[in-house]
Chains A and B, each alone.
Chain A
Amino acid sequence: MIEMQDIWKTYTNGSHALRGVNVLIDKDEFVYLVGPSGAGKSTFMKLIYREEVPTKGQLFVNGFNIGKLKQRKIPYVRRNIGVIFQDFRLLPKLTAYENVAFAMEVIEAPKKVIKRRVPEVLELVGLKQKMNCLPSQLSGGEQQRVAIARAIVNNPAVLVADEPTGNLDPETSWEIMKLLEEINYRGTTIIMATHNKDIVNRIRRRVIAIEEGMIVRDEVRGDYGYDT
């Protein structure tokens, strides 16, 4: 599903974010990405949904060679990858419903399908009652759930979540985790960057630790491994 072969990423300012990463992530896996700040976790994920291009090495996502992808094929690869951004990136003038529907309009889903699917997904994240609220009328956790709903509405094969519990209180964080597990259970590969020790240690999954751009640990049922 996702395969990195000796992946290097050097930003134009010269900082080496990734140095020789080799990894294979299978379909249906749930992977935690841990490591200190600046280790290269976000870069790792940005390569997957092609926000950044690898400087060196081969990267395959859902069978596409990302490094050699033609510009006009990028949208079609992204349609199979849901992204949950740390800062939500919701559109402030659209309601929760419209924000989720937006992701379906963009890929030109039929109106009928949109009308059926959006409430369904909002129900799944437990926000059906608040679907006509604007992001400014929602709490942080609720906004996070809208972001999750938008990321999964098109049934992506892979879900990339960059610190999805970053700004949330423990209770909301657990709710979000339950949701991600549920989505994973339904067959979506999940890659989640996190600094949340409790979650990683409680819900045991594969843990990939990155330090200074290199994978230093890769355990099937690993723990967080850092003190904070």
Chain B
Amino acid sequence: MTLNTISRHLREGSKSIVRNGWMSVASISSIVISLFILGVFILLSFNLNHLMSQVDSKITISVYLKVGTSKEQVDLLETDIGNMSEVSQVTLIPKAEGLKLLEKKLGDKGKDLVKGYTPETNPLPDAFTIEVYKPETVSMVAKKIQALNETNKDKPIDIVNYGQGHVEKLFKLTEMIRNFGLILVVGLGFTAMFLIANTIKITIMARQREISIMKMVGATNSFIRWPFFVEGALIGLIGSVVTIAILFLAYNQLFALTADTMGIQFIDMLPLSNIWAFAFGSLMALGILIGVWGSTISIRKFLKV
């Protein structure tokens, strides 16, 4: 293909977007809608992952021992739990330290409550804080620890606590959001593709005469096809650029809002600079792909002249 021909295809392809007017606007809008929703899900899942990684580090199992458990039992438990392959760290919190932590937690108001206790009269039990490698395994590890207690004749463990239920719910929620987003995006992607196919079909029908003349003077199929590819790809490109612009502005707005407002500091969003390359790159690639795909399916049957 000569440079001449390439520039002709580009020119023809872009001209016909203008010529198709509202049809092009409709196809571009449909691409924008589907890519926007996809983009929201991509950004959301990035932030969820980010949030999860923060939560992950906070997911620990607390094991409270019965008051008066012997030193040997404590050591035995510590090694047994530490030997579990899922466990990354076991920290013993002796009751004295537990008292200090409690004092700190209660603050000024509760100072009096803990004041009177000496190391001898400390009513708190010894406890372990257990961290795991994978947050998904907490409930399993908790059950294992529980089982450890059952096999021990002294039954030294009083309570095993890991925020039962809440952790599982959080995982379910992220998974649901991801699956739902995927289905929605696939559906909308197909809709966009068919709308583009339709727009291109209109171009083709409007130019059927031109195409038949081209074929009669010896144009190859690929020569005829190229401008339509260009048209589809350009529709996809314009759609994705618009989407990216909207997402960019909205995200930065939201980011500034969450960063500024003291009250909701716990919503810690990822800065866009960390993720834009992947998020926007994939949106643009997908937009162009949908566009080209749409044009391909509409030209095929028109070329058998």
Whether A91 touches B213, Cβ cut-off 8 Å, given contacts A75-B219, A106-B223, A107-B219, is: yes
Query: Which residue of the partner chain A has the closest CB to B210?
Result: A91
B4 & A49 in contact (Cβ 8 Å cutoff): no
| B217 pairs with A110, CB closer than 8 A | no
On chain B, the residues within 8 Å of A111 by CB distance are 4
Query: What's the least CB distance linking B246 to chain A, in Å?
Result: 36
The answer to whether B221 touches A72 (Cβ under 8 A) is yes
Report yes or no: B218 in contact with A106, Cβ–Cβ below 8 A.
yes
Tell yes or no: A171 within 8 A of B by CB.
no
SS class, residues of chain B in contact with chain A? helix
Within 8 A of A (CB), among B262-284: none
Q: Which of B84-132 contact A (CB under 8 A)?
A: none
Binds B, one of A76-84, A134-142, A193-201: A76-84
A110 and B210 within 8 A (CB): no
Residue in B4, B210, B215 whose beta carbon sits within 8 Å of that of A78 in the complex: B215
Q: Which residues of A contact B221 (CB under 8 A)?
A: 71-72, 75
A91–B208 CA distance with the chains assembled, in angstroms: 11
Query: Are B216 and A107 in touch, CB under 8 angstroms?
Result: no
Instruction: Report the nearest A residue to B222, measured CB to CB.
Output: A72
* Chain B residues with CB under 8 A of A154: 217-218
One of B218, B304, B305 near A107 (C-beta < 8 A): B218
Closest A residue by C-beta to B212: A89
Interface: B164 (CB within 8 A): no
CA distance A107 to B210 in the complex (A): 15
What separation, in Å, do the CA atoms of A89 and B217 have in the docked complex?
11
Q: Are A75 and B4 in contact (CB under 8 A)?
A: no
Q: Are A106 and B2 in contact (CB under 8 A)?
A: no
Say whether A107 contacts B217, CB under 8 Å. yes
A57-106 contacts to B (CB < 8 Å): 71-72, 75-79, 83, 89, 91, 102-103, 105-106
Check B220–A89 contact: CB distance below 8 A: no
Interface string of B230-272 (1 = CB under 8 A from A): 0000000000000000000000000000000000000000000
Quick check: is B172 within 8 A (CB to CB) of the other chain? Answer: no
Tell me the residues in window 190-224 of chain B with beta carbons closer than 8 Å to chain A beta carbons.
Answer: 209-210, 213-221, 223
Kindly state whether residue A51 has any CB partner on chain B within 8 Å: yes
Checking B1, B5, B217, B305 against A103 with a beta-carbon cut-off of 8 angstroms, the contacting residue is B217
Judged by a CB distance under 8 angstroms, whether A19 is at the interface is no
Q: Is the CB–CB distance between A110 and B2 below 8 Å?
A: yes
Interface contact A105-B8, CB-CB below 8 Å = yes
User: Does A41 have its Cβ within 8 Å of any Cβ on chain B?
Assistant: no
Of A77, A83, A105, most B-chain CB atoms within 10 Å: A105
CB distance from A43 to the nearest CB of B (A): 16
Q: Is the CB of B4 within 8 A of A108?
A: yes
Beta-carbon nearest neighbor of B219 in chain A? A106
B1-53 at interface with A (beta carbon < 8 Å): 1-2, 4-5, 8
Query: Measured between alpha carbons, how far is A83 from B212 in the docked complex, in Å?
Result: 12
A9 contacts the other chain (CB 8 A):
no
- Report whether A83 and B216 are in contact in the complex, using a CB–CB cutoff of 8 Å: yes
Q: Which residues of B contact A150 (CB under 8 A)?
A: 217
Minimum CB–CB distance for B291 against chain A, Å? 25
In the bound complex, what is the Cα–Cα distance between A108 and B2 (angstroms)?
Answer: 7
- The docked-state distance in angstroms from the alpha carbon of A154 to that of B215 is 14
Residues of B contacting A83 in the complex (Cβ-Cβ under 8 angstroms): 216-217
Give the CA-CA distance A103 to B210 in the complex, in Å. Answer: 11
Instruction: Report the bound CA distance from A78 to B304 in whole Å.
Output: 15
Known contacts A108-B4, A108-B5, A110-B4; decide if A89 and B219 are in contact (CB<8 Å): no
Question: Who on chain A is nearest to B216 by CB?
Answer: A83
**What is the bound-complex CA distance between A83 and B215, given in angstroms?**
11
A78 touches B217 (CB 8 A): yes
The residue on A at minimum CB distance from B3 is: A111
Q: B216 and A51: CB pair below 8 A?
A: yes
25 contacts between A and B (CB under 8 A): A51-B216, A51-B305, A72-B220, A75-B215, A75-B218, A75-B219, A75-B220, A75-B221, A78-B215, A79-B218, A89-B209, A89-B216, A91-B209, A102-B214, A102-B217, A105-B5, A106-B217, A106-B219, A106-B223, A107-B218, A108-B4, A108-B5, A108-B223, A111-B4, A154-B217
* Interface, chain A (partner B; CB < 8 A): 49, 51, 71-72, 75-79, 83, 89, 91, 102-103, 105-108, 110-111, 150, 154
Which 10 pairs between the two chains have the least Cβ-Cβ distance? A79-B218, A78-B218, A106-B219, A103-B217, A75-B220, A75-B218, A111-B4, A108-B5, A106-B214, A106-B217
